Amino acid sequence: MIPSSDFNKLKAEIADQFPQLSKRLKQVAEFALSNPNDMALETIAIIARKAEVQPSTLIRFAKFFGYDGFTEMQRIFKGRLASQSDYKARIKAFAPEGENPTGLYDDFFEGSISSLEELRNQLDPETLNQAIEQLKNADTVYLAGYRRAFPVAAYFQYAFSHLDKKVVLLHGLGGMLEEQARVMSQSDVLLAISFREHSEEVISLVKSAGEKEVPVIAVTDSGLGPIASKASICLEVKDAKVQGFRSLSATMCLALILVVGLGKESLE
Amino acid sequence: MIPSSDFNKLKAEIADQFPQLSKRLKQVAEFALSNPNDMALETIAIIARKAEVQPSTLIRFAKFFGYDGFTEMQRIFKGRLASQSDYKARIKAFAPEGENPTGLYDDFFEGSISSLEELRNQLDPETLNQAIEQLKNADTVYLAGYRRAFPVAAYFQYAFSHLDKKVVLLHGLGGMLEEQARVMSQSDVLLAISFREHSEEVISLVKSAGEKEVPVIAVTDSGLGPIASKASICLEVKDAKVQGFRSLSATMCLALILVVGLGKESLE
DNA sequence: CTTTATTTAGAATATATTTTCCTTTTTTTA
DNA sequence: TAAAAAAAGGAAAATATATTCTAAATAAAG
């Protein structure tokens, strides 16, 4: 058997053989592909510890893929690092600013990153703490989010239920949105995610929550308008827009902050 | 004497001390600065041969700059290579700690930003174009995503339908997942979003798509495992994990890229 | 020419890798 | 379902390799 001679080939080979690997070798495969730097730079003993396997397992892994020993396979990982850094140096040398060939999608990344940075700058910890506190105290969290906001509501449902928080996604399936929402009480919280143009559903939900004195936490892209004004707590987040479409990167990060914040609070 | 703790400091220190070095140490200094990769990746014996000095000279060199031994100095060179693809460290270096009021949440932002940077680095334009092409040619796009991946599938549904792309979200409502999926044909595409541990639903959907020769595009966090191996195209994305929870920031950015890519293609 | 600093070669030490053997787990067959 | 066989995994000894130290040799400076 001829062992792979460069990183991409090895990667393909590992992916290919993966189903046939034993439990520990699978563990190594996963570690190797997600920590190629460690594979290149650390000693077998340290890698073994990080991957939570025996050193000998790493050697078995290398031999499985046709190498003489671990050292020989490690060369592939070293080669990857070396060529990667050479490549970077070349780009830097010849294309001074942002003119690299991989820049086709830079707009997307830069947009997402800058929306994250903006969120970081404007997020008010006090407001956030209040929101977390209110979520913690709520008996049940009701989630409203439609159109672009629906995936966010769905994420909250997933995450909150993993925290054993009682949660209801107001999806309006079967035209029974009102019926679903009717049982909200003052000891609950309505978490409404909505971006302009706000959907009718969310506006009326927030309104009726207000009438019943159910606290409302809003996640929205504008501090103005019907949602923010009726909410008891308003968290603002603006996702980057590229070619007419907005991502949800920043909103998802905010969601994660709320989730982890709630998780921490609940433990105490 | 306190030895330099990162590559740039060491570089400056070497340049600084250069005139006072002996002949052989100068030779090492020049080699080290022009072959930092070798310094990081090779053994002392090989480096010595390449630099045309004795191994012990390298040790004297390391000691001259305050390190305990060669190994300790080599860590600096290794760190340089590792940090080129480790954006967490880089971001931390540029944004001084705790200077903004939300410093508490830096982990989240750093995590999200670094996962975006990693995506930027690893995303293969060729694969991406194939995926867009396949989506464009598909009659109908079927979406499969469960648990954490469900919000992503829901986002695709929202976005694709805004592009007037025929799309079906395989939600399995009413226990009719199989019935929903049965109508997929070779002229369609199954877009499967799945992260470990992959849900049963998605595994069996991908499998049955394969049997019917329906093309499968996978969006996943590992090139290994049942999803990636059965997919015709595999897009890898790894979201940052904070305190046990993963966000979807990077995945949402990838989704946006696909959406906008498809939007552009369809116009032409 | 003597003294001091630097360099070299090789010995000693330390560390890393590999192999071996035994235990555990998994699979196959009765 | 149980027993036997096969495969995989783990611990540790053995081997190989790398690093560091030492002492002799060379070069540089006074």
The answer to whether the beta carbon of residue B71 comes closer than 7 angstroms to any atom of strand D is yes
- Determine the 3-state secondary structure of B231 from DSSP: coil
Interface contact B41-A81, CB threshold 8 A = yes
* DSSP 8-state code for residue A52: T
Q: Which of A43, A92, A113 has the highest number of chain B CBs within 10 A, making it the mutation to test binding with B?
A: A113
Give the contacts of A23 (CB within 8 A, at least 6 positions apart): none
A110 touches chain B (CB under 8 A): no
Class level of CATH domain A111-267: alpha beta
And the tokens for A13? 């080979």
Q: Give the pLDDT band of residue B84 (cuts 50, 70, 90).
A: low
pLDDT score of A258 more than 70: yes
pLDDT for res A230 = 92
- Cα–Cα distances in Å, from A259 out to A133, A183, B150? 12, 24, 17
What is the pLDDT averaged over residues A226-241?
94
- Per-chain mean pLDDT for chain B: 90
| Residue A193 Cα, gap to closest chain B Cα (Å) | 14
A150 touches chain B (CB under 8 A): yes
| Residue A211 Cα, gap to closest chain B Cα (Å) | 30
- A168-186 pLDDT tens trace: 999 999 999 999 999 999 9
**Whole-number Å distance, CA A26 to C1' D13?**
27
pLDDT for res B173 = 93
pLDDT for res B180 = 94
B196, closest residue in chain A (CA to CA): A30
- A21-71 pLDDT tens trace: 999 999 999 999 989 999 999 999 999 999 999 999 999 999 999 999 999
pLDDT score of A73 more than 80: yes
- A135-145 pLDDT tens trace: 999 999 999 99
With beta carbons less than 8 A apart as the criterion, state whether B152 and B248 touch: yes
**Residue in A85, A155, A242 closest to B151 by CB:** A155
**What is the third-level CATH fold of B7-84?**
Arc Repressor Mutant, subunit A (1.10.10)
Residues in B closer than 8 angstroms to A119, CB to CB, are: 109
The answer to whether the beta carbon of residue A55 comes closer than 7 angstroms to any atom of strand D is yes
- B177-215 pLDDT tens trace: 999 999 999 999 999 999 988 999 999 999 999 999 999
For every residue of A111-145, DSSP letters joined together read HHHHHHHHHHHH--HHHHHHHHHHHHH-SSEEEEE
The answer to whether the beta carbon of residue A139 comes closer than 7 angstroms to any atom of strand C is no
**Whole-number Å distance, CA A20 to C1' D5?**
20
Interface contact B222-A30, CB threshold 8 A = yes
The answer to whether the beta carbon of residue A29 comes closer than 7 angstroms to any atom of strand D is no
| Residue A64 Cα, gap to closest chain B Cα (Å) | 17
- A190-214 pLDDT tens trace: 999 999 889 999 999 999 999 999 9
Separation of alpha carbons B82 and A81, rounded Å: 8
Residues in A closer than 8 angstroms to B148, CB to CB, are: 155, 158
* Share of residues in chain B with pLDDT > 90 (%): 73
Domain ranges of chain B: 7-84, 124-267
For every residue of A174-224, DSSP letters joined together read GG-HHHHHHT--TTSEEEEEE-SSPPHHHHHHHHHHHHTT--EEEEES-SS
Interface contact B112-A26, CB threshold 8 A = no
Interface contact A105-B125, CB threshold 8 A = yes
A123 touches chain B (CB under 8 A): yes
Q: Strand D: which bases are under 7 Å from protein Cβ? A: 7-12, 17-22, 28
Separation of alpha carbons A79 and A70, rounded Å: 14
Q: Which amino acid is at A129?
A: N
What residues of chain B, 18 to 57, have a C-beta less than 8 Å from chain A?
37, 40-41
**What is the third-level CATH fold of A7-94?**
Arc Repressor Mutant, subunit A (1.10.10)
pLDDT for res B85 = 61
pLDDT for res B103 = 61
A88 touches chain B (CB under 8 A): yes
A177 touches chain B (CB under 8 A): no
Q: Give the pLDDT band of residue B265 (cuts 50, 70, 90).
A: confident
Q: Which of A42, A112, A262 has the highest number of chain B CBs within 10 A, making it the mutation to test binding with B?
A: A112
With beta carbons less than 8 A apart as the criterion, state whether A134 and A189 touch: yes
Nearest nucleotide, CA B73 to C1': D19
Surface-to-core class of residue A67, CB atoms within 10 Å of its CB (0-12 exposed, 13-18 middle, 19+ buried): buried
pLDDT score of A99 more than 50: no
Given 3.40.430.10, 3.40.50.10490, 3.20.20.300, 1.20.140.10, which CATH number is that of B124-267?
Answer: 3.40.50.10490
